[in-house]
Amino acid sequence: MRYVIVGGSIAGASATRAIRTNDPEGTIVMVTTEKPFYYRPLIPLIIDDEITQEDIFFPEDIQKSHGIQMINDRAVALDTEKKELTLESGNMLEYDKLLIATGSVPLLPDVPGTEKAFTLRTLTDAHKIKEAAAGASRTVILGGGFVGIKAAGALLKLGLNVTIIEKLPQILFPRLDQKSAAMVQKKITEKGVGVITTETITEVLDDGVSLTSGDVIEADLVILAIGVSPNIGWLERSGLKTEKAVVVDEFLKTSAEDCYAAGDVVQAMDLVEERPAVSVLWTNAVDMGKAAGTNMAGGKKRYPGLLSVLNATEIEGLPMVSVGAVADEGGEVFIETGNGGYRKLVFRDDRLIGAIFMGRLKNSGIYTNWIKNQTPLGNLKDKAIKGTLSYVDFMPKQ
Amino acid sequence: MDAIYVKPDRCMGCRSCEISCAVQHSEGKTLFSALLESPAPMKRLFVEATESVKMPILCRHCEDAPCLNACISGCLYKDENGFVRRKKERCIGCWTCMMVCPFGVVTRDVNKHLAVKCDRCHKLEVPACVNACPTKALVVKNLDEIPKEKRQNVILAETG
């Protein structure tokens, strides 16, 4: 059996592990443009040397341990009839089972001058920003998401003057609700990051950006961090069914035989929103890769769906976990504040569909599991609201 | 594989396991020195109670561990005994493991900015919590033995 995986990040790595568990003999070929395998969520930490060059890579050499043949190239076309890939080098690559795991590419605003700006998606991007930051004193970051905020924190530590520009009235939408986002904004503003909301740029200039208000903000380094879109351009003529992203069934099989997809390139059912969504999250890609890899190697593993919001991090001393439909203001909502923390639970009927924990994170995983499984809460809802829920509540009575 | 097995019907909720866990993970490794340490050493298991059940909640060292799967920094790994452990120097304090642990047994060391979880006392023959339990509510057992023992108990109860 010849497995070909297009993409060398976590969905591909996770699939490789699952393939090897089920098929120790088959040939695994991976096509990637990047140096495998590194922890993509950590790339902002490269900018200010918070982690070492070495620590960004997987501690285990899975290329060796899993016997992967690595091809440093880019897939440019797919023929699902002939079961063949065309690579940028002109080489062709045949497969028995294919995994599309090409991830996503940065979204760019539709304004002139974006070629003068940086994006932060790959390790190479992070190195470029680090280099540019060395000679810079002012930076503008477009986009108040986690990537933008992490980059802001790193650049601030390097002594740059940092301004974040966010189109919406709040930062971190939809990963946080208004109130919790305001808490984060306060933290980063106190540290010295400028945040301008309800504003966007009209052009990237040689020495800054111009805003819709007409103002110009001077900057020697402009970073565009407004999000990502699935990397599906190369599949245009493949006949593969795509909508927002590659369409897959619940076993992560695409519309073509023996062709699977996983990670950011896929749209899968959101477990609480009950509509197809694109993940863009590491944690989801791990699970998808595992299911796809198992199925490619002849197993049968259903992928139940993803959570569009499944984020944990710490920003300027404020630890947070955010899961599910947290920005949903329509449902039944419980909010608790105090001690610099914040706790929000969003219910739909007898189910928990979203939760934010800020400050105190203990037992947050129990709630995540609840949201994932959409288990009816029954008489545990009160305990969840009081915050006294623990795993012992799920034990049968003695 | 050997696992720490909890028998809730034997647990009195005395928290001896919690204390010995914290002591084992202290600098001095004795109760008296641990009491004086600042910051105080952290326990890795938690005695919880409902009206009908008391028991320590502890890491299962899951075969398909959500914390390890979700770790975004290569900090968590499975050792040769199947224990889910931590390479401290790799932890960046992103708390993803806390977000996904369905048992709620990963916690946060605020001072060291590290995720903290049970390491199965891998240097000890018997884990500190098991050693400290006065009622044998915590035991180390081979997982295959547990269903066998349960079957035996049922047969004994039926046949007198």
CATH number at residue A372: 3.30.390
Q: Do B48 and A392 touch (CB under 8 A)?
A: yes
Q: What is the band of A124 on the pLDDT scale with cuts at 50, 70, 90?
A: very high
* Percent with pLDDT over 90 in chain A: 95
Rounded average pLDDT over A174-196: 97
Candidates A38, A320, A390, A394: best to mutate against B (most CBs of B within 10 A) is A390
Q: Does A45 touch chain B (CB under 8 A)?
A: yes
Name every chain A residue with its beta carbon within 8 A of the beta carbon of B90. 55, 59
Rounded average pLDDT over A94-107: 98
Q: Is residue A243 part of a domain?
A: yes
Q: Give the mean pLDDT of chain A.
A: 96
Rounded average pLDDT over A203-207: 97
**pLDDT for the residue numbered A324:** 96
What is the DSSP annotation of B48-116?
EE-SS-EEEE-----TT-HHHHH-SSS-EEE-TTS-EEE-GGG-----HHHHH-TT---EEETTTTEEE
Q: Are A72 and A169 within one domain?
A: no
Q: Does A126 touch chain B (CB under 8 A)?
A: no
Q: Is residue A50 part of a domain?
A: yes
Name every chain B residue with its beta carbon within 8 A of the beta carbon of A393. 50
Name every chain B residue with its beta carbon within 8 A of the beta carbon of A362. 98, 104, 107-108
Q: Do B96 and A283 touch (CB under 8 A)?
A: yes
Q: Are A212 and A234 within one domain?
A: no
Instruction: Report d(CA A195, CA A212) in Å as an integer.
Output: 15
**pLDDT for the residue numbered A328:** 72
Give the minimum alpha-carbon distance from B151 to chain A in angstroms, rounded to a whole number.
18
For residue range B122-137, list pLDDT tens digits in order.
Answer: 999 999 999 999 999 9
Instruction: Return the CATH number at A70.
Output: 3.50.50.60
Q: Are A219 and A122 within one domain?
A: yes
Give the minimum alpha-carbon distance from A181 to chain B in angstroms, rounded to a whole number.
17
Name every chain A residue with its beta carbon within 8 A of the beta carbon of B69. 283, 286-287, 290
For residue range A359-379, list pLDDT tens digits in order.
Answer: 999 999 999 999 999 999 999
Q: What is the band of A380 on the pLDDT scale with cuts at 50, 70, 90?
A: very high
Q: Are A341 and A276 within one domain?
A: no
Q: Are A213 and A259 within one domain?
A: no
Q: Are A100 and A17 within one domain?
A: yes
Q: Do B107 and A287 touch (CB under 8 A)?
A: no
Domain count, chain A: 3
Q: Are A121 and A218 within one domain?
A: yes
Name every chain B residue with its beta carbon within 8 A of the beta carbon of A314. 93-95
Which of B9, B57, B108 shows the shortest C-beta gap to A391?
B57
Instruction: Report d(CA A265, CA A6) in Å as an integer.
Output: 11
Residues of chain B with pLDDT under 70: none
Which of B9, B48, B90 shows the shortest C-beta gap to A390?
B48
For residue range A280-327, list pLDDT tens digits in order.
Answer: 999 999 999 999 999 999 999 999 999 999 999 999 999 999 999 998
Q: Is residue A319 part of a domain?
A: no
Q: Are A93 and A135 within one domain?
A: no
Name every chain B residue with its beta carbon within 8 A of the beta carbon of A310. 99
**pLDDT for the residue numbered B46:** 98
Q: Are A182 and A275 within one domain?
A: no
Residues with Cβ within 8 Å of residue A16, at least 6 apart in sequence: A5, A28, A30, A62, A66, A68, A289, A293
Q: Is residue A305 part of a domain?
A: no
Q: Is residue A311 part of a domain?
A: no
Which of B46, B55, B99 shows the shortest C-beta gap to A368?
B99
Q: Are A160 and A140 within one domain?
A: yes
Q: Does A390 touch chain B (CB under 8 A)?
A: yes
Which domains, from first to last, does chain B contain?
2-159 (3.30.70.20)
Q: Do B102 and A369 touch (CB under 8 A)?
A: yes
Chain B, nearest residue to A313 by Cα: B94
Q: Give the mean pLDDT of chain B.
A: 95
A112, A118, A117, A120: which is closest to A145 by C-alpha?
Answer: A120
**pLDDT for the residue numbered B4:** 96
Name every chain A residue with its beta carbon within 8 A of the beta carbon of B76. none
Question: Which residue, of A224, A246, A270, is where some domain finishes?
Answer: A224
User: Is A261 a residue whose pLDDT tops 70?
Assistant: yes
Q: Are A58 and A152 within one domain?
A: no
Size of interface A-B (CB pairs under 8 A): 113
Give the minimum alpha-carbon distance from B81 to chain A in angstroms, rounded to a whole number.
17
Q: Does A149 touch chain B (CB under 8 A)?
A: no
Question: Which residue, of A296, A317, A349, is where some domain finishes?
Answer: A296
Check: complex ipTM more than 0.85: yes
Q: Which residues of B have a CB under 8 Å from any CB of A? A: 8-9, 46, 48-50, 52-55, 57, 66, 69-70, 72-74, 77, 87, 89-90, 92-96, 98-108
Q: Is residue A321 part of a domain?
A: no
Q: Are A77 and A214 within one domain?
A: no
DSSP category for residue A397: P
Q: Is residue A360 part of a domain?
A: yes
How are beta strands A27-32 and A68-72 bridged, if at all?
A: parallel
Question: Which residue, of A199, A224, A249, is where some domain finishes?
Answer: A224
- Domain coverage including residue A188: 114-224
Which of A57, A323, A390 shows the shortest C-beta gap to B104?
A390
Which tokens belong to A154?
């790193």
**pLDDT for the residue numbered A398:** 60
Rounded average pLDDT over A71-94: 97
Q: Does A397 touch chain B (CB under 8 A)?
A: yes
Name every chain B residue with its beta carbon within 8 A of the beta carbon of A60. 77
Q: Does A395 touch chain B (CB under 8 A)?
A: yes
Q: Is residue A389 part of a domain?
A: yes
| Inter-residue contact B4 to B138 (CB < 8 Å) | yes
